Structure 1
Amino acid sequence: MSTTKRNFSIDGYEISATFAETRNPTVIGQVKQILLSAFVASAPVSRFKGILDDPSEQRDNSSEGSPHVP
């Protein structure tokens, strides 16, 4: 099997990668997951509370501030 070796520089880090001639979808998916996880881990913590956060109380828009949904 023939391979190609490449060197990359990302944010001051040198990365060496070896690529095969044929694609492997399983490995591509794993690499994407690793890169995405590394990106999320290095992202600053946001003060925004999104819809997936656990709210301290339930509210709806029509109850004028009441924490209980009618």
Structure 2
Amino acid sequence: MSGQNNDQQQFTIQPHPATTNDPADLARQGESAFAGGSNVFNTPGQNIPTAQVAAALEDPKTRAQLAEEVKKLNS
């Protein structure tokens, strides 16, 4: 907003800090490679559970069971 006394607010668009298409450019100076917003591109990928873990998971709820939960929570 400017220093003028207008009835309407005025906004400006701020420039994006990146100068290239390299995500490493967004890392702040002195920041480790594993911290900050650029770490979103450093993910390990899918997590596929082992057969033992998959067998220990409960069965997904049916639509009827979910509808009962909704009624219970909304009452």
What range describes the TM-score normalised by the shorter chain of this pair? under 0.3
Q: Indicate the structure with greater strand content.
A: 1
Provide TM-score, normalisation by structure 2: 0.22
Provide TM-score, normalisation by structure 1: 0.23
Q: Indicate the structure with greater helix content.
A: 2
Higher relative contact order (CA closer than 8 Å, sequence separation 6+): 1
